[in-house]
Amino acid sequence: MTDLGARTEPALRRAAPALLGYAAVRALGLITLALWSAARDKNAYTLLTARWDALWYTRVAELGYGYEVRLPNGDVHSNLAFFPLLPWLERLLSATTPLSYADAGFVVALLASLAAAWGVFAVTDHVYGRRAGLCAVLLWAVLPVGIVQSMAYSESLFTALAAWSLYAVLTGRWVTAGLLASLAGLTRPVGLAVVAAVWAAGITAFLRERRTRESSGSAPARRALGMTLAPLGAAAYVLWVGHRTGKGPLGYLDVQAGWRNGFDGGYAFARFVADKFTSFPSALAGVGLILGVGLVVWLYVVCARQGQPLPLLVYAGVVTALALCASSYFGSKPRLLMPAFPLLLPLALALARARTRRSAVIVALLAGASALYGAFWLNGSGPP
């Protein structure tokens, strides 16, 4: 047995209950979706693999970059907005198996979601223990928009890379952390959050060593290498887009502007919420949005008060800020927040401290509600 296998096998055994629980929740969601879709004469697999962003990813895998849609209002939706790692994996898997690009995207999502669940467990287990790790994975699985974890989207892939990069930081594996952060940066624009976490942890470690005048062998060099590697993936793609569009380093921002997407500090989202209060029925939705944002902010404050490690706080903070302060696609915000799994850790700790039977009942109820909502959502407006 190799050294890697000797380390992986016991870690996998330790994570097995969490992974089995995660798989059960996702299976429930997929079965519910299939039954709901059949009742509405729709194809559940099409909803998972050939709608919304999944179509854009498969087009990149099949045709490469350069495809765009010009809307009547003058907006230009370019596939350059979609980062390349997921379509690269779809193309690789399709080239080496009989799978279509859409099928490959679904397989990548399923495998990545398991890797993400394992990463969430590893991080939480390292910080708070095994029982909290199990609860964190189950809570991540039963999120209302958890069905996205089984779609041919990039959220699961990104969360897997982010979680394992954070775990590598927490355990002092700096080069691994940098490589995974770089891959996360090739997956979604929010890869910036992983880079920020690696850099925050690295700078803090350097300052601590300088203050105490202690250094452990080659650790500073490995840390510096990891910090150097971390932003390379995102930087490479953004610079390539700028070169391809002829608009320089900020060309990617122009691509996003064509989708009416950007970062405005939350102004557009605040206006969107305020507009809900123009009539009574929509005012209820406005109240719900305010409560949802308040819950996210409260969870982050609790994370800080409970003394979460700095990399987790930085990562969750940047993911949350980018999600809530984006200037468009307001219905996507729950999906964009899904990778911010450290926000769930206070709830996971509370669940871990409860009696096993009570925790099981809570998770079962949440899993059923998540499965029903996911089926309803994908058969309705779905994720934009």
∠ CA 266-370-127, rounded to 5°? 70
Cα distances (Å, whole numbers) of residue 282 to 119, 272, 287, 329: 39, 11, 9, 18
Q: Can you tell me the distance from the alpha carbon of 161 to that of 187, in angstroms, rounded to the nearest whole number?
A: 9
Q: Is 42 within 8 Å of 81 (Cβ atoms)?
A: no
* b/e burial code for range 157-196 (CB count within 10 A of at least 16 → b): bbbbbbbbbbbbbbeebbbbbbbbbbbbbbbbbbbbbbbb
Give the mean model confidence (pLDDT) for residues 248-256.
91
**pLDDT tens per residue, range 228-246:** 999 999 999 999 999 999 9
Structure confidence at residue 189 (pLDDT)? 95
User: Does pLDDT of 85 surpass 50?
Assistant: yes
User: Does pLDDT of 195 surpass 50?
Assistant: yes
Q: What are phi and psi of 70, to 5 degrees?
A: -100, 120
Mark residue 167 as left, alpha or beta (left: phi above 0; alpha: psi -120 to 50; beta: remaining).
Answer: alpha
User: Does pLDDT of 18 surpass 50?
Assistant: yes
- Using 50, 70 and 90 to split pLDDT, how confident is the model at 1? very low
**pLDDT tens per residue, range 132-145:** 999 999 999 999 99
Q: Quickly count: other Cβ atoms within 10 Å of residue 237's Cβ.
A: 20
**Comparing 269-278, 295-304, 342-351, which segment has the lowest mean pLDDT?**
269-278
User: Average pLDDT of the chain?
Assistant: 93
Q: Can you tell me the distance from the alpha carbon of 332 to that of 329, in angstroms, rounded to the nearest whole number?
A: 5
User: Does pLDDT of 291 surpass 70?
Assistant: yes
Q: What are phi and psi of 298, to 5 degrees?
A: -60, -45
Say how many CA atoms lie within 13 Å of 336 toward its Cβ.
23
Q: Is 148 within 8 Å of 116 (Cβ atoms)?
A: no
Give the mean model confidence (pLDDT) for residues 266-291.
86
- Report which DSSP code applies to 246: T
Give the mean model confidence (pLDDT) for residues 178-188.
98
By residue count, the chain amounts to 384
Nearest to 85, CA basis, from 140, 160, 22, 174: 160
- Report which DSSP code applies to 68: E
Q: Is 223 within 8 Å of 206 (Cβ atoms)?
A: yes
Q: What percent of the chain clears pLDDT 90, i.e. is strictly above it?
A: 80
- Using 50, 70 and 90 to split pLDDT, how confident is the model at 215? low
Higher pLDDT residue, 340 or 288? 340
**Comparing 171-175, 208-212, 254-258, which segment has the lowest mean pLDDT?**
208-212
User: Does pLDDT of 312 surpass 80?
Assistant: yes
- Name 78's bridge partners: 68
What type of residue sits at position 72? P
Q: Which two tokens stand for residue 143?
A: 């999120």
Q: Can you tell me the distance from the alpha carbon of 93 to that of 107, in angstroms, rounded to the nearest whole number?
A: 9
Give one DSSP letter per residue of 146-168, joined into a string: GGGGGSSSSHHHHHHHHHHHHHH
The distance from CA 18 to its chain's CA centroid, rounded to whole angstroms, is: 18
pTM of the prediction? 0.95
Structure confidence at residue 212 (pLDDT)? 77
**pLDDT tens per residue, range 117-134:** 999 999 999 999 999 999
Structure confidence at residue 104 (pLDDT)? 98
